[in-house]
A and B are shown apart, each in its own frame.
Chain A
Amino acid sequence: MKTSLPALLVLLPAIASANQRHYAYTYETATLPMGAAEIEPWTTVRLMREDYYVRFDHRLEFEVGLLDNFQAAFYLNWQEVSSLSTDDKGTSSIVGSSAFKGISLELKGKLLDPQADPIGLGLYFEIGGLTNELEIEAKVLLDKHFGDFGVALNAVYEAEFEAEVESGTDTELELHAHEIQVDLGFAYFISPRWSVALELVSRTELAKNEADEFETEYSILSLGPTVGYAGERFWITASILPQLAALAGATGDSLHHLEDKERLELRLLMGFEI
């Protein structure tokens, strides 16, 4: 049994963080308590496809606890891309572009807690898009804490729609791709402030071919480390996620799929209590 004062002095500053994420890709079931809110800037850097390719995906998230086990979030999304472009004369140059990538709305509910119940269980739903695109994403979240260790598993389904011009000004949203993702994370909670994790991410995309039938575009596995730190009213999580191998859709003689996916991703997440 610890004495009260020293234990309190150690624990108090360390627990004073908002909805800390111990993984960069894998979601835990935790939801903000009712009335609590935070802002989360995200940056994901995607590096190297077949040729030179650098992309920054930025998201600014405003998250609020609507009920004790139910939260909502609103995102603003931006993207910057630099890639190699070759003109008709065969001259290559790096071309950059930057674009607003729309808004997203997230709803997340926790049904079971990873520490208080035999297993943590949560459901996640996100809808987002631009004027001509729509994405719908659903996740089942499982997690569990074993003392200083944690494990989390997500099953994710995403449907991507694009606006198609039927005739004249008539348009309709058409499903053009499905993505199935499985995320698995193992974490070690070094202290109340620091954590490290290893994350395995599996992504499979089925897209419409010229015959208008869905076929597997790629199936890739990525694996990488994540480190997290919680301050008094903020937290930071950073991850490096190299593509390990393509199970389907490998590019040329490569082990990787590099037409639509990158060799390496870096992700930085931050959360600030407001």
Chain B
Amino acid sequence: MGFFIVEPEVAGELGPRTVFDRAGHTLAVTRLEYQFFGWLGDPIVESTPCFIVTEELSAAITAAGLTGATFDEVEVSVSPEGEEFIEGPLPPWKWLRFTGEASHDDLGLNDGLRLVVSERALGVLREHGLSNAEVAEASG
């Protein structure tokens, strides 16, 4: 089964109410505020090391039975810059958390903090729009 590295649109920044865990070897986030600065419209966006998806996409991932992911609450805000550039209200979002293994489960985060998805998962993402992401075949 083929796997792909997906680099989603970066629509914003980690907001001031984000809480970090700095104790580990890798910087982690325990509470997420995703602050939108602009949005080109994709249903999955990131700000390393966090990924968020629209509720609609999260439901589709669950319905498809894709492995390796769970969903958590995210606080979404819009910066003054975002208010200028984003047209219309934002949809509701969920924090995409990873529970599986990259290149094994349908969704995973590799050691380089890149999103690795199976062909099936890529199909689900593309079905909901992946116009502004960069997708490449995962090596190895």
A binds B: no
Q: Which residues on B are within 8 Å of A, measured CB to CB?
A: none
